[in-house]
Structure 1
Amino acid sequence: MKFLLAIITGAMLFITNSVTAQNKTITATVVNATSDEGKISFALYDKENFRQIPLQASVSKIVEGKSVVVFENVEAGEYAVICYHDKNNNDKMDFQSNGMPLEDYGTSNNVMNFGPPNYRDAKFTITDKNVSLEIRF
């Protein structure tokens, strides 16, 4: 009976450690905010929900032009991060009447084209290690 209990306990610990080991963190850092006013809002997406409802979202204050967030418990896979500088703290990105952004924004991989961000340029992969991203506006 003790032998069976030891096997079951060992199996449960192995399964628990395997599940926990699969979830990683993504640390996203904006390194060049133009001011410490307002905040920076970050959103984590996968291909299916890109620029819609984020898988995770976080807001961070700006200190000396830098802002950092950590997305936790992220499963292995392909993702993209978008962030913007909410200078006036109104919880939305502001645009000019012609559609040009009034507030700075950036994406993972720092590819900035004319027009809105696209998943193909911003995507990165998480496998067996935590990921750190440096995002520039």
Structure 2
Amino acid sequence: MKILSIVLLLGLILSLSLTAKPPVNEVLVNDGKLHQLTVELHQVNSEYKSVYLYVYDEAEERVFSKTISPAQAMQPIIFEGVESGSYAIYAHQNKDDDPTLNTSPAGVPLEPLGFANNPVLMGPPAFQDISVGISEDTKVSINLMTYG
């Protein structure tokens, strides 16, 4: 009975590995095609100020950014003309009127922020943790979290 259970488990693992999709944050090569990136933000606070949304390429250069009101942030945010590739996506909402993310003396964010893939973080994220591969029109959902 024990051997049969092990054989069935190995068969299940093998079948899952054969049908698994590549990871979301796999680095993609630019094929010259342009796509639409749609970002949906959740947990936007209507009483706070502007929301800042940034898209970075693999060289960690900012390629797209938008500053929008909380009301606009509750609607899908669309970036047109995004080349195929891997992009890190970051958003934060300001409690005041400066575009800087305020942090505590220990470096803990004091304003809501979120990243693509909604990772659980214990420090600054790595590119691969917050990046998405874009090879077609893509929708990304980001939950804004308050840490401090």
The bucket for the TM-score relative to the shorter chain is 0.7 to 0.9
| Alpha carbons 1:59, 1:69 under 8 Å: kept | no
Matched, 1:39 2:50: yes
TM superposition shift of 1:35 = 3.4
Alignment of 1:1-137 (within 5 A): 22-49=33-60, 53-63=61-71, 66=74, 68-127=76-135, 129-137=136-144
In the TM superposition, residue 67 of structure 1 has moved relative to its aligned partner by 5.2
Instruction: Give the whole-Å Cα distance in 2 for the aligned partners of 1:56 and 1:112.
Output: 24
**RMSD between superposed Cα atoms in Å:** 1.9
Q: Which range moved further: 64-73 or 103-112?
A: 64-73
CA–CA distance in 2 between the matches of 1:64 and 1:76? Answer: 26
Aligned amino acid, residue 85 of structure 2 = G
Normalization by structure 1: what TM-score? 0.74
Unaligned runs of 5+ in 1: 1-18
**C-alpha distance in structure 1 between counterparts of 2:57 and 2:46, whole Å:** 30
Task: Name the CA distance, whole Å, in 1 between partners of 2:72 and 2:99.
Answer: 21
Supply the distance in 1 between the matched residues of 2:91 and 2:102 (Cα, whole angstroms).
Answer: 13
Instruction: Please say if residues 50 and 93 of structure 2, whose CA atoms lie closer than 8 Å, have aligned partners that are also in contact.
Output: yes
SS at the partner of 1:63? helix
Shift of 1:104: 1.1
Report how many aligned residue pairs link the two structures: 113
What amino acid maps onto 2:139 in structure 1?
S
TM-score (norm 2): 0.69
Asked if the contact 2:42/2:141 (under 8 Å) is kept, the reply is yes
Cα pair 1:40 1:67 within 8 Å, conserved: no
CA distance in 1 between partners of 2:56 and 2:46 (Å): 26
Distance 1:82 1:91, change over 3 A: same
